[in-house]
Amino acid sequence: MKFAILSRNTRLYSTRRLVEAARRRGHSVRVLDPLRCYMRIGKDGFALHYKGQSLAGFGAVIPRIGASINRYGNAVLHQFELMGCHTPNPSSAIAAARDKLRCHQLLAAQGIDMPVTVFGDNPDDTDDLLAMLGPPPHVIKLTEGSQGRGVMLTEKPSASRGVVDALRGLYATFLLQEFIAEAGGADIRCLVVGDRVVAAMRRQAPDGDFRANLHRGGVAEAFDLDPEAAEVAVRAARVLGLGVAGVDLILSARGPLVLEVNASPGLEGIERSTGVDVAGLIVEFVAAGAAGGGMKSRTRVRRRARTKD
């Protein structure tokens, strides 16, 4: 099968591992920089070009789209979908996962638990907004942050109001959440592929921090996930329509809570912590979906894609 991987950097660990896994299984694979892809859109069909050449004949595309190019990268992925190419993570699902507020709304509507979250826009409502959340500590998150960036902890009401006022002054979009103290600065990254968690690791925040992201200095180790937490992770990915996802859970007194769903999870930390060939499992899942119709049948347009100039 002919694979496309949408990635800006062929040297990134996750991209390299997916390329290796695909070739080891007999597939041809090409890494495409989404920003070098360009599109023709018309009622007679759809076309994609890359560095002057037509892109055609791909059976599946694996998106590795970073937040900085989310809008354009997603448009390129959608063009592949409209041309009948299978993907484990549709563009609409990536858009929903990337928007933290919308993601939380979708999950909560399906009964998936998470830290209590509040969101507001008008400065006149700040005091009531904080009252809706409850007493501090409060976690304040930029809605488009990643790898622990744009996540702050405030321990007094005055500090929460100050951060909220500052972020509004910068026209930033953010949400506020309850702080789960009993988690002890640890979270669980679950790698969901299809209908199961194929690997899980526990990430512990360094001393003096509450963010467990490995990019923030967190330490990871393999984790034996219980069935309840695994079910929550799989359901969260399914609600958003993601076939491959990194679901971050926090273990609370009331059960596992979803912190975030990542549509383009890094593979380095979880493969090294668990020894699981996650890239290989992703490739096998995507190939099986493309061969059996999978999401392709839900994204294929009725007219033939235009592939010739």
Q: Which residues are annotated as a binding site for Mn(2+)?
A: 248, 260, 262
In this structure, are strands 244-252 and 255-262 parallel, antiparallel, or unpaired?
A: antiparallel
- Position 91: which residue type? S
**Tokens for 122?**
């008008």
**Tokens for 163?**
């951060």
Query: Residues annotated as binding site for Mg(2+)?
Result: 248, 260, 262
DSSP code of 206?
A: P
Query: Residues annotated as binding site for ATP?
Result: 141, 178-179, 187, 211-213
Q: What are the C-alpha distances in Å from 120 to residues 125, 126, 172?
A: 7, 8, 12
**Tokens for 89?**
């993570």
Query: Residues annotated as binding site?
Result: 141, 178-179, 187, 211-213, 248, 260, 262
> Residue 45 region, left (φ>0) first, then alpha (ψ -120 to 50), else beta?
left
H/E stretch holding 179: none
Q: What are the C-alpha distances in Å from 300 to residues 80, 176, 242, 290?
A: 10, 39, 17, 12
